[in-house]
Amino acid sequence: MAEERRQKQCSVILPTESMKAMAESVGVGQLQEESCVAISEEVSYRIKEIAQDALKFMHHGKRRKLTTSDIDNALKLKNVEPLYGFQSQEFIPFRFASGGGRELHFYEEREVDLSDIINTPLPRVPLDVSLKAHWLSIEGVQPAIPENPPPAPKEQQKAESTEPLKVAKPGQEEEAAIQGKSQGATAADGKGKEKGLIRLKPRSTHELSVEQQLYYKEITEACVGSCEAKRAEALQSIATDPGLYQMLPRFSTFISEGVRVNVVQNNLALLIYLMRMVKALMDNPTLYLEKYLHELIPAVVTCIVSKQLCLRPDVDNHWALRDFAARLMAQSCKTFSTTTNNIQSRITKTFTKSWLDDKTQWTTRYGCIAGLAELGPDVIKTLILPRLTVEGARIKAVMEGPVVSNIDKIGADHVQSLLLKHCASVIAKIRPQPDNVEQYRTDYGYLGPMLCSHVMKARTQAALQAQQVNRTTLTITQPRPTLSVSQSGLSGSTGPRTPSIIKVPSSLTLMSPRPGTPSQPSPPATKYIVMATSAGTATTQQVITLSSSQSASPVTSTVPSATSTLQPLVKLESGSGPGLTGSRPLQKYIVVSLPSSASSSLEILPCLVQLKTQGLFGLNVKG
């Protein structure tokens, strides 16, 4: 491979067209082909030379990233006037344009109105350089403090789990890669001596220091306590603290035991709190939950399908808990499901089985359907849609038959709205227009007419969104944004191999005002950067749109169809703000989609689901 690269090195020169274009730009027309070749060779060589010198400056600047100033310095070294105007620290703002078979990268120089500049308020002054000391190691042991990286390298946790993760958790790929590089790091952990010839799987001990025990006590008490502000803080800590590895088994047991007890006691509030803890644990990028799924998943599933979750099923809103837990389940399916553990198929089977059972109560039935529906449109299409007729008949029996019990009626009502909500958007995708009520009735039975109206609403909603996309910047002021991927028009189904891109109008920012609840600790600032690359010309488009939950029919996440070649990689980056001291940790989501031919598995979902749940549960998104 190195050889290939070298060969490339040898032959790479700038295309002569570039020379022509540049010549034209300075007023030299009719450049001969030979001169172009000669010039391009010379220019290529000089560019390489300058790049090599610039690298020197990068190395001495003790950076990994080559900046424009390095190039300037390299030019100065050669006694060449530096390039002025390229001062960007982060990226070089080249824009790309193509047309008429020509491709062009250009530097956009906008005309700026001086009065605009004068009138715009000054940007914030960048923070001054400051110095902060912390203990990297105390007599050879690295303390688990936020300033240090998580004490247990993820690689070590990974090695302990049987199957290496195929789908890395959002935000972990990068760190895992770094960990992987510093293989020696793990070997040298502790005294660095334990590497013998015989490889024994080390027994993992989870000793908690006194501080950690106190922390555990505080956190768990806050999580299930009565003070909401404390709880938010505790959950925030669970979701971001890098040093929780040692406490993970305890947390896991706490949650599973807690669910066990509180289901029996029908304590809805506590169950909700525990589910939020699960959510926080899953949000923590430094934890590998794989080893504790056997405890967490049953707890979550319990909260989805349990017959009774609260003391007064007719009054309490246990449906919300089921919805939330179902989303958690879906998220963990996406994140942790591998070919070995088969979480998703096992879960699907479990849900389907109890759903198909006639004796199943409405509550459980609701849970099963919610659990399945959250798994995505494919599952809805294959498992839920065919059973709509049967389910409709059952609902009809309760709604229109003799009143058996109020509870049954409420249950049936909820199941009905759940089905409508989830199925409508899917049907809108797969069913061609026009929507005929009679047709729907024959296809879906009792639920048909209602579905029809929902589908029509969904269609208008989609059209609205398509319009919204045309705006370059979406500013969403509702505090509860939902992020959904929808396919505009008939796209996606046009062909099995159509490359698709996530098209985002040049910049996409999510804005929401500061949360209305001042009692909450400052929420993490979240930034979404959605980048998309695609090969060839895109014929279909998948659009990431942002819709608020206030819209007529909330559009749930619709992922590209299985035939799509899109395999997005979702990377979640989270870290503290610009400084270690940053009080408001900044969370960054980078969604990169790459066209690939292999599988239709969509890693984009966890992120989306995550966003949604985050929105629902009080965490606000701030651009």
Interface residues with other proteins (CB under 8 A) are 2-3, 6-7, 9-11, 41-42, 44-45, 48-49, 52, 56-57, 59-65, 67, 69, 73, 76-77, 89, 126-140, 142, 147-149, 153, 178, 181-182, 184-185, 187-189, 191-192, 195, 575-581, 586
Contacts of 610 (CB under 8 A, 6+ apart): 170, 283, 331
> DSSP E strands: which ranges in 27-108?
94-99, 102-107
Least distance from other proteins to the Cβ atom of residue 623, Å: 18
Burial 583-609 (b: 16+ CB within 10 A, else e): eebbbebbbebebeeeeeebbbbbbbb
> Closest CB to other proteins among 77 and 104?
77
Structure tokens given for 277: 């803890």
The Cα–Cα gap between 28 and 537 comes to 33
> Closest CB to other proteins among 91 and 96?
91
> Closest CB to other proteins among 77 and 269?
77
> Closest CB to other proteins among 65 and 359?
65
- SS3 at position 616: helix
Phi and psi at residue 58, to the nearest 5°: -65, -45
- Do 68 and 87 meet the contact criterion of CB atoms below 8 Å apart? yes
> Closest CB to other proteins among 35 and 69?
69
> Closest CB to other proteins among 381 and 527?
527
Least distance from other proteins to the Cβ atom of residue 12, Å: 9
Structure tokens given for 392: 């409709």
User: Chain centroid to CA 404: how far?
Assistant: 44
Peptide bond into 606 cis (omega under 30): no
> Closest CB to other proteins among 56 and 217?
56
- Do 360 and 368 meet the contact criterion of CB atoms below 8 Å apart? yes
Least distance from other proteins to the Cβ atom of residue 10, Å: 4
- SS3 at position 167: coil
In this structure, the number of other CB atoms found within 10 A of the CB of residue 129 comes to: 6
> Closest CB to other proteins among 383 and 529?
529
Closest CA to 256 of 286, 301, 223, 217: 301
Least distance from other proteins to the Cβ atom of residue 589, Å: 15
| Burial status of residue 331 (CB atoms within 10 A of its CB: 0-12, 13-18, 19 or more) | buried
Least distance from other proteins to the Cβ atom of residue 267, Å: 40
Q: DSSP of 341-382, one letter per residue?
A: T-HHHHHHHHHHHHHH-TT--HHHHHHHHHHHHHT-HHHIII
Radius of gyration of the chain (CA): 28
Least distance from other proteins to the Cβ atom of residue 190, Å: 9
In this structure, the number of other CB atoms found within 10 A of the CB of residue 89 comes to: 8
- Do 419 and 447 meet the contact criterion of CB atoms below 8 Å apart? yes
The Cα–Cα gap between 476 and 508 comes to 11
> Closest CB to other proteins among 130 and 470?
130
> Closest CB to other proteins among 134 and 166?
134
- SS3 at position 585: coil
Least distance from other proteins to the Cβ atom of residue 93, Å: 18
> Closest CB to other proteins among 66 and 569?
66
| Burial status of residue 369 (CB atoms within 10 A of its CB: 0-12, 13-18, 19 or more) | buried
Least distance from other proteins to the Cβ atom of residue 149, Å: 5
Least distance from other proteins to the Cβ atom of residue 292, Å: 24
Least distance from other proteins to the Cβ atom of residue 110, Å: 25
The Cα–Cα gap between 94 and 91 comes to 9
Least distance from other proteins to the Cβ atom of residue 70, Å: 9
User: Largest Cα–Cα distance of the chain, in whole Å?
Assistant: 94
> Closest CB to other proteins among 9 and 32?
9
The Cα–Cα gap between 213 and 384 comes to 46
Least distance from other proteins to the Cβ atom of residue 57, Å: 8
Q: Which helix (H) or strand (E) holds 57?
A: helix 33-60
Least distance from other proteins to the Cβ atom of residue 579, Å: 4
Entry field: residues in the chain: 623
> Closest CB to other proteins among 586 and 616?
586
Least distance from other proteins to the Cβ atom of residue 33, Å: 17
> Closest CB to other proteins among 15 and 496?
15
